[in-house]
Structure 1
């Protein structure tokens, strides 16, 4: 339960942080962003839900029976499906649903996911190296 809550709160933190960064980028490029309180709340909730959807499925990596590729596919599949549902709810896609924007969004989400995945991979690879070095020294 402690891990579940920890990953849930970590997902909320990631989702809201990325939301703030995106809004900051948009505000610099467009000058101003106008949201009603309800629209802003919807943005935050959708961002938190997407963050949770990417953080909670990391439990799949503890299953040693599945290959790494299947684990990654399940993890990212849950995250992407949740992202697209929330993208429609939050209005992250334009009303006309321009296919270029959807494809661009897909590519950005894939790139961002793999960048984050890569840094976690580097971290755990480094941790394994440290553990192996300690074992070797004893």
Structure 2
């Protein structure tokens, strides 16, 4: 529970930071001097919620009673359902077949790259730990 609360706070703060950074970029680089309050609020809350569930959902990988394939499937389903539901509701992804396919492809590619990066990173750490244990 302590880990869940800590990760929740980190995710919420990171999501809020991203919302502010993106808004500042829109104002500074986009030349947008006036912001719509309702749109800002909706996008900020969406960013905060995304930050939260993307930092809390990896807790699946700490459940030792599940195989890696089960952990990955649960994590993938959770983030996919939450992200796409939020994206469609807020309007980050337009409800057109071409947009849905494009963003689905981007999401799958990004998910696969991140998952493989973490997999090989931890596999490398396990290999080094095993080598150190053999040298003892």
Q: TM-score, normalised by structure 1?
A: 0.75
1:101, CA displacement in angstroms?
A: 0.2
The alignment partner of 1:49 has SS state of helix
The alignment partner of 1:92 has SS state of coil
The equivalent position to 1:106 in structure 2, one of 104, 111, 122, is 104
**Which whole-Å CA distance do the structure 1 matches of 2:21 and 2:110 have between them?**
13
The alignment partner of 1:47 has SS state of helix
The equivalent position to 1:121 in structure 2, one of 110, 119, 124, is 119
Correspondence for 2:128: 130
Correspondence for 1:9: 9
Q: String of CA shifts for 1:22-80, please: whole Å, max 9, x gaps.
A: 889999xx886974233123212212212322322222222233221121111011111
Would you say the 8 A contact 1:61–1:68 is kept in 2? yes
Quick check: 33-42 or 53-62, which moved more? 33-42
Q: Is the radius of gyration larger for structure 1 or structure 2?
A: 2
**Which whole-Å CA distance do the structure 1 matches of 2:79 and 2:127 have between them?**
29
Would you say the 8 A contact 1:54–1:78 is kept in 2? no
The alignment partner of 1:93 has SS state of coil
Relative to 1, partners in 2 of residues 1:72 and 1:125: Cα closer, same or farther, differing over 3 Å? same
Superposition pairs of residues 68-87 of structure 1, within 5 angstroms: 68-87=68-87
Would you say the 8 A contact 1:60–1:75 is kept in 2? yes
1:82, CA displacement in angstroms?
A: 0.6
Unaligned runs of 5+ in 2: none
**Which whole-Å CA distance do the structure 2 matches of 1:44 and 1:71 have between them?**
29
Task: Work out the number of aligned pairs and report it.
Answer: 136
